[in-house]
Chain A
Amino acid sequence: MKAESDQVRALRSRYKESLPEKAALVREWHLQETSGGISEAGVDELSSWLHKLAGSAGMYEYQEISDFSRSLMQSMPDLSSQELASRLKKLELLLEGAAK
């Protein structure tokens, strides 16, 4: 139905508008990781958040963000602090780029 297609567009637009906020959140985690490391509870929270981002970004056709966050979520336990910080930075840039 045409009206509902408009609604889908509105939802996509709303999701795009939320990307800068998501980028800011990743920036905050990056800052935590580079200034002493994310706490144990924070790591769980980040993992859960990445899980959701992998799902929602894919649904809204941001495939690269979806794939990257899924990969980061799965590899997090094996990453050094420097690697995690570097990947968070990349995710932040991906989100910022998609928000434009």
Chain B
Amino acid sequence: MSGYTAHKGEYLNQAMVDVARIAKITRQLYERQQFAYLLVDHNWSVIEASANLENYGFGDVRVGDDAREAIDFLVGLDSHSTLDLPIVLSPSQNPVHIVLLPEDESLTVVLMDASRDYEQQQLVQQKANENELLLAQQRQLMADLEQTQAALVTKNTELREASRLQSSFLSGVSHEFRTPLAALLGYVDVLGERLLSQSQEESEEQLKVIRRSGRHLLSLVENLLDHGKFDAGEVVLNPQAIDLQGICDEVHAMLHQGAASKQIALEFDTTPTPLPSCLIDDSRLRQIMLNIIGNAIKFTDEGKVQVIAQCADEQFSLRIRDTGMGISKDDMQNVMRPFWQAPKNGKVGTGLGLTITERIVEMMGGQLKIDSELGVGTTVDITIPAPLIELDQPDINSNRAEHIGARRYLLAEDDPDIAALLKLLLVEQGAEVTHVENGQQAIEIAEREEFDVILMDLQMPVLDGYDATKSLRDRGDKTPVLVMTASAIEADRTRAEEVGCDGYLIKPVAVHEVLSLADELLQNQSAV
């Protein structure tokens, strides 16, 4: 019998004592080091629980309890296997490190504070999140950069194209100016040399060419100036009470001849007829209509141009439909670009008319749309806000007071500040005011249109108020001329009276003075 066999029982007893001692020491160690523990049998029945278990939120665990009811993360675990759960959140949300140490008859559940590990894990997670965020931001920045680079490339292309168009425009416009100028000067020379020798018919034909060339040049210059004004932000709308029907009739009268000379019909339909009066910048509206309808006539060689004008719900809408050459889909993308002209269409121009028209319409708060089919024709739709006029109650409750305001005035004044204010003040009184900047323009417009009174500044460029008044009188125009001048010199008044001025006001003038004197002049005139 070996020594071991002889002393087997003694050894086993000693080993059990040692294990129990170790377990006790370990438990004491756990308690000293603030670990918690739970001793259960393999059916999870609690044999012993450390007193500090409540620090981890498990204070209700008592001997004999089923440990799984109190500590739910034990559910489903094998009570015979070793297990290490580094971080588990207790019911009180404390991070706990749990180790299961099985023995023959029991299982020790060790709970350790895992706050530090948990914080570490949280920090790692936070870092990971931050890294992810940084990566996302970096990706966004890269995308933005790529987008900006793409935009820059596009802008650069556009700038190159704009530069090319401007160069092309400059070379084109030189030709545009040279051709009518050459015709104009050439025919003036011919007229000068042969005035007495050639027939009146020949002279009239040459005069027509001169007039046409001059008008074309004027239109080129006006378009260029307008385009420059828009770019410089100098265009100011000046809405006033206007007769829409009158404007439509006027535009029709101006363009009818041009259409007739191409043997195409120009039809105007207005709804309602007559169109009502409303508040719109009349000169800009006229410009819009002349540009679009003029274009329709220019690009139509057969068929007709139809204009449908409607005013409803304080909106003025225009539809201009032609049976002209139309615009291809590719060219439609370019028609609004400044200086662009359809290649090889055989028509002349600056390529600015449509651009300017669109800018005016937008400035008025309206819209312009173009629909076109190559070889079939083009339709342009324009809508512009058109507030109907609502006059205040008149200060003086008499028909005469209303009548005084409702007159048509021609205002010849070169100072834009004075002209803008005086025109506005008169319009507020219900007057219709046409403004020109010099005496020459006053004469030209007075030949075409009728006015009740002409308000004439004396000092103006091109032709001053004295010469303009004298010229009007020489032509038999008897419209009363009311001078407005900053000069208080008596000699100026005398000279004005000598050339045919009827009234004399020294600036600053009040609008009621203008209305009152104008009324007096008209009464005197009708009494004669």
Contact = CB atoms under 8 A, between A and B. Distances in A.
Q: Answer yes or no: are A and B bound together in one complex.
A: yes
B41 to A, nearest CB: 94
A52 B417 CA distance: 10
Contacts of B428: 1, 4-5, 8
Contact of B507 (A3, A14, A55, A61): A55
A48 interface: yes
Interface stretch (B11-19, B341-349, B486-494): B486-494
A7 B420 CA distance: 10
Scoring A1, A3, A54, A70 by chain B CB atoms within 10 A of each residue's CB, the highest score goes to A1
B488 A11 contact: no
Contacts of A4: 424, 427-428
A54 B421 contact: no
Nearest to A8: B424
Contact of B415 (A52, A61, A63, A66): A52
Interface in A41-70: 48, 51-52, 54-61, 63, 66, 70
A82 interface: no
A1 B239 CA distance: 12
A70 B409 CA distance: 27
A1 B421 contact: no
B390 A59 contact: no
A59 B485 CA distance: 11
A74 B418 contact: no
B241 to A, nearest CB: 9
Given A4-B427, A8-B424, A8-B425, A56 B391 contact: no
Interface in B371-392: 389-392
Contact of B421 (A18, A48, A59, A74): A59
A10 to B, nearest CB: 9
A1 B424 CA distance: 11
Given A1-B390, A7-B424, A8-B425, A48 B507 contact: no
Given A18-B417, A60-B421, A66-B508, A52 B391 contact: no
Contacts of A3: 279
Given A4-B428, A51-B487, A52-B415, A59 B391 contact: no
Contacts of A51: 459, 486-487
Nearest to A66: B508
Contacts of B422: 59
B83 interface: no
B509 interface: yes
Contact of A70 (B392, B417, B488): B488
B422 to A, nearest CB: 7
Interface residues of B, number: 26
A95 B213 CA distance: 46
Contacts of B421: 8, 11-12, 15, 59-60
Contact of A56 (B417, B485, B489): B417
A11 B424 contact: yes
B169 to A, nearest CB: 32
Nearest to B509: A59
Contacts of B459: 48, 51-52
A73 B427 CA distance: 32
A63 B510 CA distance: 13
Given A51-B459, A70-B488, A56 B424 contact: no
A59 B417 contact: yes
A8 B456 CA distance: 22
A59 B424 contact: no
Nearest to A71: B488
A77 B81 CA distance: 120
Contacts of A54: 486, 507
Scoring A4, A12, A58 by chain B CB atoms within 10 A of each residue's CB, the highest score goes to A4
A81 B430 CA distance: 49
Contact of A55 (B279, B420, B425, B486): B486
B236 to A, nearest CB: 9
Nearest to A14: B417
Interface in A11-55: 11-12, 14-15, 18, 48, 51-52, 54-55
Contacts of B389: 1
Interface string B380-421: 000000000111100000000000000000000001011011
A1 B417 contact: no
Contacts of A12: 421
Given A48-B459, A59-B507, A70 B420 contact: no
Contacts of A56: 415, 417-418, 507
Interface string B479-514: 000001111110000000000000000011100000
A7 B134 CA distance: 54
A43 to B, nearest CB: 15
Interface in B254-305: 279
B40 to A, nearest CB: 89
A56 B424 CA distance: 14
Contacts of B457: 55
Nearest to B240: A4
10 contacts: A3-B279, A8-B424, A15-B417, A51-B459, A55-B418, A55-B457, A56-B507, A58-B508, A59-B417, A59-B418
4 closest Cβ pairs, A-B complex? A58-B508, A55-B507, A55-B486, A54-B486
Given A8-B421, A59-B418, 9 more contacts: A1-B391, A1-B392, A8-B428, A11-B420, A14-B417, A52-B459, A54-B486, A55-B457, A60-B417
Interface of B: 279, 389-392, 415, 417-418, 420-422, 424-425, 427-428, 457, 459, 484-489, 507-509
Interface of A: 1, 3-5, 7-8, 11-12, 14-15, 18, 48, 51-52, 54-61, 63, 66, 70, 73-74
